[in-house]
Amino acid sequence: MSLAIRARGPRLLLLVTAMALAACADAPETAQPVEVLQRASLQLGVEAQGELKAATATKLSVPGQGWSARQLVWMVADGSRVAEGDVVARFAAEQTQLELDKALLNLERNTLSRAAKQAELEIGGGRLDVDLAQVQSQLAIASRYAQADFEAIARNVVLDAVADERFLGEKREVLDWRKDQSVARGGAELQVLEAQRETVATGVRTREADLGALELRAPHDGVFVLVANWSGEKPQIGAQMFSGNDLATLPDSRRLEVELSLPQIEAQGLAVGQRVRLHPAGQPEQAFEAPISWVASAPRAVSRNNPVKYLAFKVAVPDAVSRERAWVPGQLFAGRVILGEAEDALSVPNLAIHSENGQSFVDVLVDGETQRRAVTLGARGPARSEVIEGLDEGDAVLLTAAAASTGEGANAEATPAREGASRGEGRRRPEATP
């Protein structure tokens, strides 16, 4: 029996192999995805987000002189509308008040020092005047005796008088010199005290001006918008600030614009004049259209943690729209950049487009065979592109990126275009790089 099983083993193996080959032969071939072109209205666009800003704005800085410290004690709410002359912020300056008190004390000390020095100079000058008067009197007497006759007065008395005259003359010259020196030195000391007084008085005036500038008023009508610092934080009540620091801006609500940005890969072809449909975030019923008024010269990164570069552009808001809707700067806006529109056009997915030496090609399925055709493209969106020449309605465009994964040369099954494909709905990320 074991010999019979051994003889039948190769036959069973051949039978199983034959059945497997027959099953593989009966399996249907994998179909390649295609899109049958149909003419329809076309709108190509890309979504963007941005912020409403004022084209012109007045900078509001912390009041005061120099670099004096301030503490914010009150301010109007961020985004509030204010009129010309309204108080928008109040500050406290306890350190400045302390410095003012010290300066006033120093000013009083200087006044007392000046009075004491003036009295000292007057007393010293009076003493010198008394000494000079005494010397002058003695000199007059000595001069009289020095000229007397020896016969009338003893010789020694006359000689002493002559000596006294010389001594008193020298003493008078010394006293005159001391008086001149006292006047000069006293005047210099008084000038030093006067300079010190002026310095202290200047400090007093500066601190008094600082204490008189603790309120910030709006120079014109507008919207009060706080300015964030380098860390992205806005001023809060109780914050320590310094004179000259930026506190807020007062945008001119009559001239508003929306600043938006797009990733560099989606911003190809962006130009001034292209139309953008905008509306406040979450309020599509307030949509309006306006042209692009400005495009940045080059894209830039918006964060150190994100290497993607974005291209900024601006759209001016019509005056009538801004007045009617009462929008304020700082609002978040959503926009759709309209890259191209057509009432009756053909479009293909960007996935089906190949570029070689500046020429665009697509693969078309004709009677089960693949044909490569050169095409002329019009407006290009992130997902689809308009075809101006090279294709006709009804052509079955092969999605070659998907076909490559199933193998070249396999039979393709034509499928109708999906609803909305010809409309070219833009998305935030393209399916393939054009």
Residue range 291-320: average pLDDT?
90
Distance from C-alpha of 390 to C-alpha of 388, rounded to nearest angstrom = 7
| Judgement on whether residues 83 and 227 belong to the same structural domain of the protein | yes
| Judgement on whether residues 268 and 350 belong to the same structural domain of the protein | yes
| Judgement on whether residues 41 and 66 belong to the same structural domain of the protein | no
| Judgement on whether residues 374 and 228 belong to the same structural domain of the protein | no
Would you state the pLDDT for residue 333? 96
In a domain, 380, yes or no: yes
Give the tens place of pLDDT for each residue, 394-420: 999 998 643 443 344 333 444 444 334
Would you state the pLDDT for residue 307? 87
Predicted TM-score (pTM) of the model is: 0.51
| Judgement on whether residues 243 and 390 belong to the same structural domain of the protein | no
Would you state the pLDDT for residue 150? 56
Would you state the pLDDT for residue 31? 67
241: domain CATH number is: 2.40.50.100
| Judgement on whether residues 122 and 81 belong to the same structural domain of the protein | no
| Judgement on whether residues 281 and 145 belong to the same structural domain of the protein | no
pLDDT at 260 over 90: yes
pLDDT at 18 over 70: no
Residues 6+ apart with CB under 8 A from 256: 52, 53, 54, 55, 316, 317, 322, 327, 329
In a domain, 391, yes or no: yes
Range of the domain at 111: 96-195
| Judgement on whether residues 48 and 166 belong to the same structural domain of the protein | no
pLDDT at 156 over 60: no
Supply the mean pLDDT for the chain: 79
| Judgement on whether residues 145 and 163 belong to the same structural domain of the protein | yes
| Judgement on whether residues 264 and 322 belong to the same structural domain of the protein | yes
Number of compact structural domains in the chain: 3
| Judgement on whether residues 188 and 231 belong to the same structural domain of the protein | no
| Judgement on whether residues 115 and 78 belong to the same structural domain of the protein | no
